[in-house]
Chains A and B, each alone.
Chain A
Amino acid sequence: MDVITFHYTISPDDFTRAGEASSDVKSKLKKMGVTPEAVRKVAIAMYEGEINMVIHAKGGEITVHISTERIEMVLEDVGPGIPDIDLAMQAGYSTAPDAVRSLGFGAGMGLPNMKKYSDEMEIHTVIGEGTTIRMVVNL
């Protein structure tokens, strides 16, 4: 079965452009005829991840694999890592600085939202090296 892959490089410290990759994936999925519900789930989950890569890490890479059964997103950042994943997964827990909150993010909903809108989510993190998050939305 064919798998289509898209790759994006997320540049750090460019908050204005954050979300461009998610936007591109969303419009591609729509054109492919993926159901609106699945498009919405992928768009929200990936957008939150992309924002996190800009806020918390020094950018990174996103790879999206699309097959007839599932959409898999792999987000790899070069960042500080997550010291306590259970704590980070709690709604409302955030380590984002006030400057980020004034931009409308850092409410501690990023990771919980990513879990809520994906059917599978795995986090692999190494302190001082980076975090890789794999999310799957089933079709």
Chain B
Amino acid sequence: MTVEDIRKILGAKVLVGEEHLSEEVKSACGSDMMSDVLAYSKDHSVLLTGLCNPQVVRTAEMLDIVCIVFVRGKKPDEAMLQMAAERGIILLSTGHRMFSACGMLYEAGLHGGAI
């Protein structure tokens, strides 16, 4: 699915990267622990997280993560928005909680990818 599909499913707001919404996403990872994301995340994936600090964007950068979805209405600060914009990473924000947001994407056909 594309990031635009994810945006629609989650009713999410685009914070950064409006111009990249047609990018394809193949798997997803939901976690607040960045070390776990670094251990298990796959290529071309989307990261769902309730953690909101610059290391979330850094982690995404290291893994070539296409898009970060902040759950529970978390709002990154200006420095994070700028970091993401410079790296071409899309940032979305949704009011849904982690469990619900992951479930909605899973139901729509986006899976975690093979272990």
B and A form one assembly: yes
Instruction: Please give the distance in Å from A139's CB to the nearest CB on chain B.
Output: 18
In the complex, identify which listed stretch (B6-14, B21-29, B30-38, B94-102) lies at the interface while the others stay far away. Answer: B30-38
B58 contacts partner chain A, Cβ-Cβ < 8 Å? yes
A43 contacts partner chain B, Cβ-Cβ < 8 Å? yes
Contact of B55 among A36, A44, A104, A110 (CB under 8 A): A104
A19 contacts partner chain B, Cβ-Cβ < 8 Å? yes
A109 to B32, CA, bound (A): 14
Query: Which residues of B lie under 8 Å from residue A113 when comparing CB positions?
Result: 35, 38-39
On whether the beta carbons of B54 and A109 are closer than 8 Å, the reply is no
A15 contacts partner chain B, Cβ-Cβ < 8 Å? yes
* Chain B contact residues: helix, strand, loop or mixed: helix
On whether the beta carbons of B63 and A104 are closer than 8 Å, the reply is no
A67 to B63, CA, bound (A): 23
A15 to B54, CA, bound (A): 9
B64 contacts partner chain A, Cβ-Cβ < 8 Å? yes
Query: Which residues of A lie under 8 Å from residue B63 when comparing CB positions?
Result: 40, 43-44
The count of chain A contact residues (Cβ–Cβ below 8 Å) is 26
B62 contacts partner chain A, Cβ-Cβ < 8 Å? yes
Contact of B39 among A23, A101, A106, A112 (CB under 8 A): A112
A103 contacts partner chain B, Cβ-Cβ < 8 Å? yes
A40 to B38, CA, bound (A): 10
Chain A to chain B: the 7 pairs with minimum beta-carbon distance, closest first: A109-B35, A19-B58, A104-B34, A107-B35, A43-B62, A107-B33, A104-B51
